[in-house]
Amino acid sequence: MELRETFNTSEENYDRFRPGYPEELFSDIFSYAGLKQGSFVIEIGTGTGQATLPFLQKGCKVTGIELGDRLSEYARQKFGAYENFRIITGDFCDVELMPDSCDLVFSATAFHWLPVEESLQKVKKILRPGGALALFWNHPFPNREDDPTNAASRQVYDKYRPSPKKQIEFTEKDLAAWKDRLADAGFDFIEAKLYRRKRTLTTERYIGLLNTYSDHIALPEKTKQLFEQEMRRAIDAAGGSINIYDTIDLYMGKTV
């Protein structure tokens, strides 16, 4: 099983524990893309719909594309009351879509699983002239040295999943890579923006969140059990909750 397919094994956990995105981010996308009721939107990697609802509430006609059959069925049931929602089960690169047919293509913490150059060119083909692309990710950071709850978590990671690479928080300078990718693919009027927030999760919610990450799901079962047992003890000893510092990065570009 590929790592990107592991999400399809835990759709209820994914919907329960994965966070949504800031309201300001959606407002910025709506404004940039000029979305209105009836605008045709494609979402790549719908998952269980952490980023879908604002577009439906805006009145856009949303077509989600989701690789996992269990995830897509979950989203189909979740948004069943919305006549402006449909979902296709499949890989974005393989799904046939009409050229020049949509006003916006967006993807929330999913586009990196695709072959980037090929996928960006396909996006350009299906966007109408003046159509927009919006790509965004959430980068959770529970590794601040001045936060004792983060230190507790780090001790468990260092024991069970040691890495020589220092954990670094996402910053403004990290925006350059995706801005360059969009420019190289021929998008214009490129904009990039960061949003920040702090979440405080109980021990059990943090364990639940870990079980939505592909690399955690893929751990050998014995290692996973020991890791989670010690993580519970460490976070409980630090007060029963952990602080997570999120950075959300948004990239937008238009066709001409």
- Measuring CA to CA, which residue among 73, 81, 30 is closest to residue 51? 30
**Dihedral, 172, 173, 176, 179 alpha carbons, nearest 10:** 0
For residue 220, give both structure tokens: 């050998």
DSSP class per residue in 129-167: EEEEEEEEEEEEE---TT-HHHHHHHHHHHHHS--SSPP
Q: CA distances (Å), 215 to each of 3, 6, 174, 204, in order?
A: 7, 9, 22, 19
For residue 16, give both structure tokens: 């329960």
Whole-number pLDDT of residue 38: 98
pLDDT tens by residue, the chain, 256 residues: 444 445 556 788 889 999 999 999 999 999 999 999 999 999 999 999 999 999 999 999 999 999 999 999 999 999 999 999 999 999 999 999 999 999 999 999 999 999 999 999 999 999 999 999 999 999 999 999 999 999 999 999 999 998 888 889 999 999 999 999 999 999 999 999 999 999 999 999 999 999 998 889 889 999 999 999 999 999 999 999 999 999 999 999 999 8
Whole-number pLDDT of residue 13: 87
Whole-number pLDDT of residue 217: 87
| pTM: predicted TM-score of the whole model, two decimal places | 0.93
DSSP three-state, residue 212: coil
Q: CA distances (Å), 167 to each of 22, 106, 115, 134, 162, in order?
A: 24, 28, 25, 27, 11
Whole-number pLDDT of residue 77: 96
- Measuring CA to CA, which residue among 51, 222, 76 is closest to residue 136? 51
Whole-number pLDDT of residue 166: 86
Whole-number pLDDT of residue 4: 47
